[in-house]
Structure 1
Amino acid sequence: MTRILVVGSLVMDLAFDVPAVPGPGEVILATAFGRYRGGKGYNQAVAAARMGAEVVMVGAVGDDDFGRAFLTALDAEGVDASRVVVLDGVATAVAVPLVTPDGDVGFVQYQGANRQLDAAVAADLPDCDALLLQGEIQAPVSLAAARAVRSRGGRVVLNPAPVHDISDELATTATVITPNEVEAAALLGRDAADLDGEAAARALVTDQRAAVVTLGARGAAWADGSRSGAVAPPGVEAIDATAAGDSFNAALAIALAEGQGYADALRFATAAGAHATTIRGAEPALPTRADVEALLDAAGSD
């Protein structure tokens, strides 16, 4: 069984469906509301477990109702949560996703316990086939984990979101970096409007690091040195993109750990991301392996 280690965030989402994102001083009436467990780390851990991996989650929650709900849910999903730290006097992280009718989503987030996770958690990490990292915890924690896994010859998949929390040193330590177009532009110091996904992936490659640039409904582009390419996702009716990137990253890590090449791995990952857009809320949308394979089979028969 593929072993996935996730060092990252746990965030309770208080999600609102809105007709538009409010401007300064504007009041918008939501059309729907839901409370969902999320955070990039939690989403990636649960998605990887649902897709058949053996998963260990490292993170932090507060000693509160939200934190206890996370621990219960991780156990129910089959994720090893013994390395999730429970902190007294600190709130579990909370986010407010604003989902517009086209399925796009913006966030306001209070980082809470995620910002209190200490790099000491990387001192005795278990062996893994791939480590998944994001930008919602402090960079020194991610860097310590990446170094520990790289020292054993392991793969480190870094989703640099939010990109402003990603240090150059951490980005250099990744074996695969997976920004979206806006994040790729920030990493390259360019204007996102002028960026071509495949060219951006090639520009982000180093001798030690491959690159994947996610392109939303257009799929993803990849480069690993001398080779590059792009993959379109299966067609779906998207209603909420909240967990699409996390599902993509979990699936990509699994596919690469299983030995798939980048083109095949991206087909698997884009199908996982596409499935996630068809269900409202982060946690409910995270796909199983059967969900992904069914979508790939349907796309192949079209």
Structure 2
Amino acid sequence: MTGVFCLGIATLDHVYSVETMPTRGEKYRSRDLAVVGGGCAGSGSVAIARLGGRCWLATRLGDDAIGDQILGDLTREGVDTAFARRVAGRRSPVSAILVDAEGERMVISYSDPAMPEEADWLPGSLPDGARAVLTDTRWGNGALAALQLARSAGIAGVLDGDRKPPHPDLVATASHVAFSAQALKEVSGEANPRVGLAKVGREVPTWLAVTLGPEGVLFVENGEVVQSPAFPIEAVDTLGAGDVWHGAFALALAEGQGERDAIRFASAVAAIKCTRFGGRAGSPRREEVEAFLVECG
């Protein structure tokens, strides 16, 4: 079983289905509700486990009931949480999320600002069987340590750049970075993602991409910006799509797939997820993805 070591944020999400997004201070009724684990690394790790990979998650949680729920959900999904740290007196991350009839979402999240930033408690080497590393940007010191372990081991170190990296060395230390459109704009200073990706690509030796939802994925190959189209779907809920995309992409690299094939595989995983309400609860199993790819040709 191919393994991926993940590091970053794991949350408890309260996901509300609404007809339209609130625009003023009134009472609104939710059509549906899902209480499910979330977070970039948390959802990425669950995607890996559902796709048949082995996964370890290093994360920081408070010693509270929410932290118990987060860990319980991850464990039930088959994620190894031995590297999760519970911090006394701190609160675990939680989010309230609205998803409208078009599948778009509004996220209100809370992370304890007093959560310790040090990463010296992390292991000095990767677990046996880890063939790739996946980190998000929520804990800069931890992400840098994990990516350095990947570099030392000669394996893929994937950075989920959904936000501007808090540490200046993260992008250069990773072997692969896939930005969100907003994070790429902040890093590059360019509004056009093609221009921004090319600009960052000239500055670092890292393999780079940007995920653009229904517009697919742009990536740099041999100095040129190339587009991989998205699969056409009717989106129900886009929450967690980027998270499961990164998990699937990291697993594909760990399995030895090239970047083009890994993008297609990850895009299929994200597309299927978007057809289901409930955040990462909609993340598919391997057989679903394989059948979807055969159907799409």
* Pair in the same fold by TM > 0.5: yes
Cα distance, 1:81 vs structure 2: 0.8
Aligned AA for 1:186? Answer: E
- Structure 2 length normalisation: TM-score? 0.91
**Kept after mapping to 2: 8 A contact 1:95/1:107:** yes
Instruction: Name the residue aligned to 2:37.
Output: 37
Aligned AA for 1:21? Answer: M
**Kept after mapping to 2: 8 A contact 1:209/1:224:** no
Tell me the secondary structure at the aligned position of residue 178 of structure 1.
strand
Assess, with a 3 A threshold, how the Cα gap between structure 1 residues 63 and 50 changes in structure 2: closer, same or farther: same
Out of 31-40 and 15-24, give the one that drifted further.
15-24
Instruction: Name the residue aligned to 1:133.
Output: 135
Cα distance, 1:73 vs structure 2: 2.3
Tell me the secondary structure at the aligned position of residue 263 of structure 1.
helix
Structure number with higher helix proportion: 1
Measure the CA separation in 1 of the matches of 2:64 and 2:100: 30
The answer to whether residue 257 in structure 2 is matched with residue 260 in structure 1 is yes
Aligned AA for 1:237? Answer: E
Assess, with a 3 A threshold, how the Cα gap between structure 1 residues 113 and 53 changes in structure 2: closer, same or farther: farther
Instruction: Name the residue aligned to 1:148.
Output: 149
Instruction: Name the residue aligned to 2:247.
Output: 250
Assess, with a 3 A threshold, how the Cα gap between structure 1 residues 40 and 196 changes in structure 2: closer, same or farther: closer
Cα distance, 1:80 vs structure 2: 1.2
Residue deviations 1:75-125 (CA, integer Å, cap 9, x gap): 222221111112222121101112121111121111138943531133424
Q: Percent same amino acid at aligned positions? A: 28
Measure the CA separation in 2 of the matches of 1:114 and 1:143: 20
Aligned AA for 1:158? Answer: L
Cα distance, 1:126 vs structure 2: 1.7
Instruction: Name the residue aligned to 1:204.
Output: 200
Aligned length: 294
**Kept after mapping to 2: 8 A contact 1:235/1:299:** no
Residue deviations 1:40-86 (CA, integer Å, cap 9, x gap): 11101110111111111101222222212222222222221111112
Across the aligned residues of Structure 1 and Structure 2, the Cα RMSD in angstroms comes to 2.1
**Kept after mapping to 2: 8 A contact 1:59/1:117:** no
Q: Displaced runs of 4+ in structure 1, greater than 6 A?
A: none
Cα distance, 1:3 vs structure 2: 1.5
Structure 1 residues 1-302: aligned runs within 5 Å: 1-23=1-23, 25=25, 27-112=27-112, 115-116=115-116, 118-127=118-127, 128-136=130-138, 138-163=139-164, 165-191=165-191, 195-197=192-194, 199-205=195-201, 206=203, 208-226=205-223, 228-300=225-297
- Structure 1 length normalisation: TM-score? 0.89
Measure the CA separation in 1 of the matches of 2:102 and 2:221: 33
